[in-house]
Chains A and B, each alone.
Chain A
Amino acid sequence: MATTATKSVNAKLVLLGDVGAGKSSLVLRFVKGQFIDFQESTIGAAFFSQTIAVNDATVKFEIWDTAGQERYHSLAPMYYRGAAAAIVVYDITNPISFTRAKKWVQELQGQGNTNMITALAGNKSDLLDARKVTTEEAQTYAEENNLFFMETSAKSATNVNEIFYEIAKRLPRAQPVQNPAGMVLMDRPVERTAGASCCS
């Protein structure tokens, strides 16, 4: 009952990016705290949900981890339509994936959903020796396009929770509560603890 003051926000979040950029790895690190060296290709899109507590609200992310394969590109709108946030992922060791990321940003901006929060994630930041995309280049691009930018590493868990928290903070608080309050109340205590462990 002490939680009645907090707001609950449901947020659809989609991950986009080239094959092998590390979308699934980021999600698995965020949702399950796991990392697998040889992550298999995603088929279609995988669905995850994760709830975190930010300031005065709990945010329940409904995450679509899309496949990077070319054949699924035309299906991407199915997953990003109506999304509150998107993380466009590239691999800092692979310039092609950065180019591909820019195309995704363009496509998202072309959709006209101005409220969508878009993050740019330069993944595999642990592979400093193999870096091909400089932080400055990506940072500049992000500023020009009104994205927020972080370099992440799913392997070393660097900035993974942070990027999701940053998105959660930026989500509009005024979002109408979609679920009847009575239903949501049951979930809140659980969600809070899950969120707390994520923060630490």
Chain B
Amino acid sequence: MASNSTSTLHLDNDNNHDDGQNPIPNPNPSSPKTSEESFRSLTINEPDDIDKEDSAALANGSMDPDHGVRDEIEVSGDLKESVPGAEAAVVAEIVEEEVEGPSERSPSPSSSGYAGERGSSGGGIEEADEDDDGGLTVEAGSDSATEMQDDAFMSWRKRKKHFFVLSNSGKPIYSRYGDEHKLAGFSATLQAIISFVENSGDRIKFVRAGKHQVVFLVKGPIYLVCISCTEEPYEALRGQLELIYGQMLLILTKSVNRCFEKNPKYDMTSLLGGTEAVFSSLIHSFSWNPATFLHAYTCLPLAYSTRQAAGAILQDVADSGVLFAILMCKHKVVSLVGAQKASLHPDDMLLLANFVLSSESFRTSESFSPICLPKYNPMAFLYAYVHYFDDDMYLILLTTSSDSFYHLKDCRIRVEKVLLKSNVLSEVQRSMLDGGLHVEELPVDSSVSSGTLSPHLGPPPVGIGGPAGLWHFIYRSIYLDQYVSSEFSSPINSSRQQKRLYRAYQKLYASMHDRDTGAHKTQFRKDENYVLLCWITQDFELYAAFDPLADKASAIKICNRVCQWIRDLENEIFLLGASPFSW
């Protein structure tokens, strides 16, 4: 019933009668007697871990009593038969030592000798971000001014979330923290783990060591590893590694593989010179930008006619031999147009916007730079003309031809003229000030919600939360590949709270799209922080967060109202028609 196209959550009625009044979360709901498994409360984060545990526990059972640490290895396929338990235990143990155990090397003061090197300076920039990265410990804050950043240092080990990129010969390519070059030994260890499993004809997906999860992603000669104790689901971390790889391709294309074919010991770090900010900004977006796990983009709210005006001039430009014309405001799309049959993947947009926004050099003047859109064509460079109209708004014109700079420059001048004349620039600035949807403005009476509602009239209301304890929501339109997220309101003010909610959504998303158990339609879960409700139909996905005391029946009612509200406003919050997406 939930999946039919009328897109109203009918299930609420059934549930109201049954257990709608019961606000207690129920790990194993006994009562859902609806046709679909309607409300499945999950209190277990990673059911698949548990499933696989029997095999892994067998493998490393000998370790558990000694270390008091639960280690799990999940390998795809049939490794559990092919690898003797003892060997698997060794693999887990190596990781455990590196991550949690006492350092096997004494901290060497000389390690700080490369204080000014690129890796450590990149780490330094990020520390401000990391401070609220799930609540970092005091030590991390205290060393933010130092460069003691390699695996010999506790401060480095205490980081909650590491990302590494290395080559299949074990050479470091990138590390979120610390200087890659000083992490050669550590990289070699990671490489050894991966190749050990590969040698038995299998692939390693992740290792669990206590509260740490080590996630591996192998992309030809390039290995990506995340070591995290943030309790994010495996799927989410893996998705983040995929994006980091995508960001690398955007800068270098997949032809970088050829360097490794010629010389397996190739040192790739120099190829990525000057891009630390791009990666640190991407990694930071893993904790605030829903686009990183929704695989959708979001638009700046604008009057339909304003967006149409912007789209018309972009279309005009695209017809003159531009592959993609994208007008953006920070991370939000104002309008975009693709040449016929060219389609742009939301992940490519995310990576492109991140690349442009994090590279200060684009703001200085107009630029012409080779970039690759990994989902469009990972092998080839496109050429990007980038120009900022003001502090936030910029135009990206992509072409396949390396000598069309002057043409693109002319295009930009034309676009700029039209945008000025049709007041798009000023409308965009106004929308930036007004913000997006506020839960406080959710129409209380559904009969009032005619299409005339505009979220941009008057100053944004003071955040007090929406009706029935609604705090926040994200609505993703499946056909449009777009999402809209409400502004954060008063109970979720601090960046720490926002990040926690973001992580909760991320987890919800992963559990709803679990490949093993199949996709779910609805989920209602409750913990000490929130009531979370997720509802997926053929047309959209809705993620909503309520006050933890919110009751289920009214939460469901509100969700229906949010969906109606979005439909009423879709002309303003989404880019409709002529979408080059979702073919």
Contacts and interface: CB of A to CB of B under 8 A. Distances in A.
Contact of B274 (A28, A41, A47): A41
Contacts of A58: none
Contacts, number: 64
B365 A47 contact: yes
Looking at B251, B360, B361, B369, which has the most chain A CB atoms within 10 Å of its CB?
B361
Interface string B360-374: 111011111111000
A47 B405 contact: yes
Given A67-B274, A69-B273, A71-B252, A41 B366 contact: no
Contacts of A72: 370
B270 A70 contact: yes
Contact of B369 (A19, A28, A43, A48): A43
B359 interface: yes
B146 interface: no
B320 interface: no
A123 interface: no
Interface in A69-97: 69-72, 75, 78
Interface of A is mostly: mixed
Nearest to B278: A43
B50 interface: no
Give the size category of B's interface with A.
20 to 34
B360 A40 contact: yes
A74 to B, nearest CB: 9
Interface in A5-34: 19, 24, 28
B104 interface: no
Contact of A45 (B251, B277, B355, B369): B369
B370 A44 contact: yes
A105 B434 CA distance: 54
Interface in A123-165: none
B305 interface: no
A70 B271 contact: yes
B527 to A, nearest CB: 43
A69 B272 CA distance: 8
Interface string A50-71: 0000000000000001010111
A181 interface: no
A181 B51 CA distance: 78
B402 interface: yes
Contact of A24 (B272, B275, B364, B371): B364
A43 B362 contact: yes
Nearest to B272: A71
Nearest to B274: A41
A56 to B, nearest CB: 27
Contacts of B272: 71
Contact of A78 (B252, B277, B384, B402): B402
B403 interface: yes
Contacts of B355: 43
Interface in B403-447: 403, 405, 409
Interface of A: 19, 24, 28, 40-48, 65, 67, 69-72, 75, 78
Given A40-B277, A67-B274, 12 more contacts: A40-B359, A41-B273, A41-B361, A42-B367, A43-B362, A44-B367, A45-B369, A46-B366, A65-B365, A67-B369, A70-B270, A75-B402
Closest 10 A-B residue pairs measured CB to CB? A44-B369, A41-B274, A40-B360, A46-B365, A42-B361, A69-B273, A43-B359, A71-B271, A46-B367, A43-B369
28 contacts: A19-B274, A24-B361, A40-B274, A40-B277, A40-B359, A40-B360, A41-B275, A41-B359, A42-B361, A42-B367, A43-B361, A43-B362, A43-B367, A44-B367, A44-B369, A44-B370, A44-B384, A46-B365, A46-B367, A47-B365, A47-B366, A47-B368, A48-B365, A65-B365, A67-B274, A69-B271, A70-B273, A78-B403
